[in-house]
Amino acid sequence: MNAIAEKATILIERTYPASVSELWELWATKDGFESWWGPEGFRVEVHALEPKEDGLLHYTMIADAPKMIEAMKRGGQPTSTEVRARFSAFSPHRTLTIASVIDFLPGVEAYESRIDVLFTPLAHGAHMAVTLHAMHDAHTTEMQRAGFTSQLGKLDKRYTK
């Protein structure tokens, strides 16, 4: 990873008409995580989620929309990917960090990628600030940003009904 990529971060913020507790449950419980994690056209199956510092997060990301399945196959990529991560920081209802092992990219040596999340209560809802740390190159970092923005779209729909 080059020096520029190491320092790069992407901040994505959302405010929802939900409590911090409700948002927290989406990150820190199996049912919550499975309800929204993954870009549109994908879903996850959580195998382990230990909501504590250094707790395990193990899931499979699965393309489940026909269009995404076809796109993955066309690109020579698997339609499901197993992800192993841990909560490297965990302060209930305030902040968490997920450190994922990126070991599924062909031709790329395994490395760790972090996502930091800060929850702030508001008078009529809660604010969630998500910091994505750069991946190994600019293209993959942009794919990470687009994918995460897409999965946040699931929450945007949930809270704007």
Output the pLDDT for position 4.
44
Per the CB < 8 A criterion, the answer to whether 45 and 152 are in contact is: no
Per-residue pLDDT tens over the stretch 29-75: 999 999 999 999 999 999 999 999 999 999 999 999 999 999 999 98
Q: Would you say 131 and 11 are in contact if contact means Cβ atoms under 8 Å apart?
A: yes
pLDDT in tens, 123-149: 999 999 999 999 999 988 998 999 999
Torsional sign, CA 88, 146, 156, 72: negative
pLDDT at 2: 45
Which of the following CATH numbers is that of domain 3-159: 3.90.1150.10, 1.10.357.10, 3.30.530.20, 3.40.50.300? 3.30.530.20
Q: Is the dihedral of CA 27, 93, 141, 85 positive or negative?
A: negative
φ/ψ of residue 65, rounded to 5: -95, 135
pLDDT (tens digit, 9 = 90+) per residue, 68-91? Answer: 999 999 988 899 999 999 999 999
- The residue with tokens 């209930």 is 92
Measured CA to CA, the distance from residue 121 to residue 123 in angstroms comes to 7
- Cα pseudo-dihedral 148, 146, 105, 1, rounded to 10: -100
**What residue segments make up the domains of the chain, in order of their start?**
3-159
Whether the per-residue pLDDT at 6 is higher than 80: the answer is no
pLDDT of residue 52: 97
